[in-house]
Chain A
Amino acid sequence: MDSSPHDHGDDGADSAPPAAYRSEVTLSVNGKPHTLLIDHRRVLLDLLREDLDLTGAKKGCDHGQCGACTVLVDGRRVNSCLQLAVSLDGCDVLTVEGLTEGDQLHPLQRAFLDRDAFQCGYCTPGQICSAVGVLAEAAAGHPSHATGPATPPGRPVPLDAAEIRERLSGNLCRCGAYPHIVEAVQDVAL
């Protein structure tokens, strides 16, 4: 069953591995329950894009270095390229596709449009999902590297531009749309 030493990890290439290497997993994606027999090697990003046809989350680096694959798991933002799907049994996954309510854009989606906060748009779904997480974290009183030491624990942290830049540092934008991204998030944070 061993792959070659030059295999750099393109999982899913082998068709159906033996039962010991697969498990049944139930997870909800954008509110819809799925029960799937999953190859243990499958990461959430590939499951979303290839098995569930949800191509909003993007593959940039595949190694946790760019944030393009950011989604929310149980309300917390994570890099879906590093999450093994088998570890998410019972979890709620929310992708950029799940942020809209019918035709109603999420306020952050609206703000990204209003502020023209993208150029090619490749990083945008990750930026938006990450920003959803940032708002929740700040509201829950989570500090960041930019939070002053005198800020009291347990209270919402106000999000100024420095806070937003620091908290979104896990989302790279090759087009350099950062100034508008910060403005868009600030519009919703205020």
Chain B
Amino acid sequence: MKPFGYLRATTVQEAVQALAAHPGARCLGGGTNLVDLMKLGVERPGFLVEVNRLPLDTVAELADGSLRVGATVRNSDLAAHPLVRDRYPALSQALLAGASGQLRNAATTGGNLLQRTRCPYFQDVSKPCNKRVPGSGCGARDGTHRDHAVLGHSDHCIATHPSDMAVALAALDARVELYGTEGARSVPVAEFHRLPGDRPELDTVIRPGELITGVVLPAATASLPSAYRKARDRASYAFALASVAAVLHLSDDGTVAQVGLAFGALAHRPWRATRAEEALRGGPATPDAFAHAVDLELRAARPLRDNGYKVGLARGLALDVLTRLATPART
């Protein structure tokens, strides 16, 4: 590992100034992804800014009924928070479906969003990878890609984003709050991660030197029925092969009043299923309507040699979650 300078930042200003003063510096949250990648030689920062001591470690209800989650709130604490369990069950479920108890105790909200892909070629510095070394090629395209993307991938990169949490946040219409030398801004979680295009080295729209300060869960999706379901190679402690987060609110007459649907592990970002949502809005909440809408969305899938199974898997997960949300008595 390359030696690096270190600052335990205690204010957001101090953190942002340190990031500006040390180009290529990285924030250290729980370290569960960054330290791993530094050991592998994939990340080689010359300076780390520890963000854990910033006053960003609380979950607070805002006056408009939304919930602000600080960037350094640990994944385990967020999953256990009574307001999150009560109002945004999909988020709690997604967090608890990820990693292990030990990792969730360390992992932060900001770090979870910015965790890098688990593509094995990205993690192996002896292999070609356009995300790690732009222009070096993509080892996965003709190599091992069973876990890779079926939606929105490019000739340059077929990686997926591994976060479970981000999928639930995308379906729940959450926003990411950012702070940099140019001030504060906020971006919908569903637009925070990018598609790879010809710049796969950029995972998200975060600007150099910008800090994630928090995530805001809107009042509009609070207390609506929501759920997360994930398929993986073993029952626990494994990344998703496909996952689904859904929010579904029915009118008194049983038609769809509000719906949010997002897929995980299918693309370079949490895949917000806007086509399926449009097809469902105002219509019946029946298994046939769900199947029609999900198929409309997954028609865009372009599976690779060895990952066609993901399309059917994601379809099954989505139909199960939507059907369960439409018939709460059965859950």
Contacts and interface: CB of A to CB of B under 8 A. Distances in A.
Nearest to B98: A145
A41 B40 contact: no
A64 B36 contact: yes
A102 interface: no
B307 to A, nearest CB: 23
A154 B235 CA distance: 26
A123 interface: no
B6 A143 contact: no
A157 B96 CA distance: 15
Interface stretch (A80-88, A92-100, A114-122, A179-187): A80-88
A9 interface: yes
B3 A84 contact: no
A141 B235 CA distance: 22
Interface stretch (B81-89, B145-153, B195-203): B81-89
Contacts of B86: 153
Contact of B106 (A18, A78, A166): A78
Contacts of A86: 6, 50
Contact of A40 (B5, B82, B89, B93): B5
Contact of B99 (A7, A133, A170): A170
Contacts of A39: 3
A40 B40 contact: no
Contact of A142 (B39, B40, B76): B76
Interface in B96-128: 96-97, 99-103, 105-106, 125-126
Interface string A45-89: 000000000000000001110010010000011110011101101
A87 B28 contact: yes
Interface of B: 1-6, 8, 28, 30-32, 35-36, 38-41, 48, 50, 52, 76, 79-80, 82, 85-86, 89, 92-93, 96-97, 99-103, 105-106, 125-126, 235-237, 331
Closest 3 CB pairs of A and B: A170-B100, A9-B39, A169-B236
